[in-house]
Structure 1
Amino acid sequence: MTFEINKGHFYAVGVGPGGEDLLTLRAVRVIENSQVIICPRSDSSQTSLAYDIIRGFVTHQKIIEHNYPMKRSQEQVRESWIKAAEIITEHCLSGKTVCQVTLGDPNIYSTCAYVMPLLEKTIGLDRIHIVPGIAAFQSSAARFPFPLTTQEDRLLLMPATDLSAVENAMNHCETLVLYKVGKNIAAIYELLAKKGIAANARAVFNSEIPGREIIFADLKNALQSTPGYLACVIVYIGRKGWDAV
């Protein structure tokens, strides 16, 4: 069945981690058939990374770069996305096809996550659609010859902002994926070393972003670099076979 693209509808489009060749065919179709494209841009950046990915598919579309705060402030984030929802609502109600592009997948720590609940009240659930994308943890894991899961393994994805939560998570999964590593990378390494599993950790900064990706097969080597926001650490803790269930 062909995925329908309708006027007056909103599409949250995952554009993958960085490489334009990781866009799905569906994502490209929605982007090419939209009249308005919302491109999130952090207040600390001069460009929108999401727009850089889709640039080659933009012809006639109206591009709106929407600033959002890179701060741990619920109030500031909400104010930013209330404004975005107002812009999207206005264009949808005027009969335009609108999409918002977001790095990775719209359902995983994305900017779209703040907008969709607001749009439910203004344009209705039947006009809101999600186009999944490849997440950064998937493209990061693809850099190493180790599967994320086999048999009964548990995969846990979480922010690395709370180290006590990270330590607790290690007892409940076989593979741990950490986002938002930031300034905690040294503390994360020390924690893994204390557990005796530091050698099992890998890191990728800026996965698939041309000219910016850095791959660390040994997490210790990453301590000399500045992770930034788009950093992913993968910890291969162990395996849980069928006989362990």
Structure 2
Amino acid sequence: MKKGVFYGVGVGPGDPELMTLKAVRVLERCPVIAAPRTKSGEMLALDIASAAVDLGEKTIVPLYFSMERDKAVQHAAHLAAAEAVRAHLDEGRDVAMLNLGDVSIYATYSYLMEIFKEQGYETVMVPGVPSFCAVAARLGVSLTEMNGPLHIAPGSMVLDEVLDQPGTKVLMKSGRQMPAVLDALEERNALGKSMLVQNCGLPEETVYADLSQSRPEGKHGYFSTVIVKG
């Protein structure tokens, strides 16, 4: 029996209207949809996709991924998720794994893709709108200018290494690190050229167009993207 194809489908940052026509077609065609699920049961990527595609007749496979920094723990979670998907691929059913944003940028799909590639399965990546592109559009700013570099990094990186680079800096998934990010920007007198969008494209979206004028307080969402203009 021919084995199924493992698709990674980028569903964009939150607004279902930002899903590509190709993503919609792949989801309509695949009988099995694999979707990351949090401990609390939330399946955000599935919620986004369901607003653009009727998934009522699909088989939904929840995937649990550990947020632990221990690489062994993470790898074990990836293997368990791959095992849940493999059962369908071996039966000849194509599986589309949903991924927030794009499937090539800090994407969980990439870990499972490498596992299946090594085992001889066919894998296909369907790109999506990256969160930082949607954030820039929401803010009405350009990320780059002629000959200007663009640096993209997780907020957990050593901030000095990122913020001292020339050009525009994008700090993704900065929620937990937000206090440190704001402190680092203030030390560099860079708050006036820094912007933040939390939960871009989602109902709880919050926009800070100038962090020198207003900044977030209290808990900071995981999907917090900071743009620092060069």
Indicate whether the TM-score tops 0.5. yes
Cα separation, 2, equivalents of 1:42 and 1:173: 37
Pairing 1:138–2:133 present: yes
Q: Residue in 2 aligned with 1:35? A: 31
Cα separation, 1, equivalents of 2:4 and 2:176: 42
Q: Residue in 2 aligned with 1:8? A: 4
2:38 is aligned with what amino acid?
A: S
1:172-226, Cα deviation, whole Å (9 max, x unpaired):
23100001212322222222122122100000111111x2111111225233142
After TM superposition, where is structure 1 displaced by more than 6 Å over at least 4 residues in a row? none
Per the TM alignment, residue 144 of structure 1 is displaced from its structure 2 partner at its CA by: 1.7
Match of 1:19 among 15, 19, 23: 15
Does the Cα contact within 8 Å between 2:3 and 2:90 map onto a contact in 1?
no
Per the TM alignment, residue 107 of structure 1 is displaced from its structure 2 partner at its CA by: 0.8
In structure 1, stretches of 5+ residues that fail to align are 1-5, 238-245
Pairing 1:214–2:206 present: yes
2:85 is aligned with what amino acid?
A: I
Pairing 1:235–2:208 present: no
Match of 2:44 among 46, 49, 66: 49
Q: Residue in 2 aligned with 1:185? A: 178
Match of 1:87 among 62, 68, 84: 84
1:40-77, Cα deviation, whole Å (9 max, x unpaired):
0122x322000101114113210111122222222222
Match of 2:56 among 59, 64, 74: 59
Cα separation, 1, equivalents of 2:209 and 2:160: 21
Q: What secondary structure, in the 3-state scheme, does the structure 2 residue paired with 1:90 have?
A: helix
Pairing 1:69–2:66 present: yes
Relative to its length, the structure with more helix (as a share) is 1
Cα 1:120/1:7, change in 2 over 3 Å: closer
Does the Cα contact within 8 Å between 1:30 and 1:99 map onto a contact in 2?
yes
TM-score for both structures, normalised by structure 2 = 0.92
Does the Cα contact within 8 Å between 1:186 and 1:223 map onto a contact in 2?
no
Does the Cα contact within 8 Å between 1:42 and 1:67 map onto a contact in 2?
yes
Cα separation, 2, equivalents of 1:225 and 1:219: 15
Match of 1:116 among 113, 117, 122: 113
Q: Residue in 2 aligned with 1:200? A: 193
Q: What secondary structure, in the 3-state scheme, does the structure 2 residue paired with 1:199 have?
A: helix
Cα separation, 1, equivalents of 2:32 and 2:126: 16
Cα separation, 2, equivalents of 1:120 and 1:230: 29
Q: Residue in 1 aligned with 2:147? A: 152
Aligned residues: 226
Percent identity, please: 32
Does the Cα contact within 8 Å between 1:89 and 1:123 map onto a contact in 2?
no
In structure 2, stretches of 5+ residues that fail to align are none
1:217 is aligned with what amino acid?
A: A
Per the TM alignment, residue 7 of structure 1 is displaced from its structure 2 partner at its CA by: 6.8
